[in-house]
Amino acid sequence: MFHGLETITLGGIFPCGQDSKGLMWDKKAAHKSIVGHIKVNDYFKNRAKIMSKDFEDATSIIDESSKMLETSLQKMQKSEQNLMEQSKKVSGSVRKSAHDLMTGMAAIEKMANFDKLDRYVVLLERTAAAMSVLSELDKNGKLEKLMSVIKN
């Protein structure tokens, strides 16, 4: 045996040497050990235990992920419901405002009688122009002369 290698085993097989790449094992002893483990079914039992543990771990991870996904989905559904409720409120408010605006416009149109309003605007424009001309005449001192001619 090599110094310090007597404590290292691989399934009950001791290394037979060491080189620059690592430990060396006896091929016949390794085959004998492997066949022995397979015959007593230890290898498959151990692999089954390891696989069973791996399956349990995977199942646990999947269950946790499913719970997290379900929680996130519930939050998203609640958010969607809140958004729909808010949208309905806003939509109703917009419809009410549009209706109120239409009602107000109809009332203004009815009260203002836009046909007459157009004529009033034309008359007001003429009056403003006349007032502007009269103001210029007054500044120049010609308004009094014009007034005296009109009175006579």
- Three-class secondary structure assignment of 48-59: HHHHHHHHHHHH
Provide the residue range defining the domain that includes 149. 113-152
Average pLDDT over residues 100-108: 86
pLDDT at residue 22 is higher than 70: yes
Query: In this predicted structure, what is the pLDDT of residue 65?
Result: 94
**Is position 75 within any domain?**
no
Note the pLDDT of residue 1.
45
Residue 42 within any structural domain of the chain? no
Least confident of 1-5, 76-80, 103-107: 1-5
- Tell me whether residue 137 is in a domain: yes
Considering the chain, what is the average pLDDT of its residues? 83
Mean pLDDT calculated for residue range 98-123:
82
Domain contains 40: no
Does the pLDDT of residue 128 top 70, yes or no? yes
Q: Is residue 123, in this structure, part of any structural domain at all?
A: yes
- Half-sphere CA count of 15, side-chain side, radius 13 A: 13
pLDDT at 149 over 90: no
- Give the model confidence (pLDDT) of 38-74 as tens digits: 777 766 777 788 888 889 999 999 999 999 999 999 9
Assigned domain for 152 exists: yes
Q: What is the DSSP letter of 10?
A: B
> Six-digit token pair at 105?
């416009």
Domains held by the chain: number: 1
* Strand ranges, E, within the chain: 17-19, 22-24
- Note whether 13 and 33 are within 8 A (CB): yes
pLDDT score at 70: 96
Residue 139 lies in a domain: yes
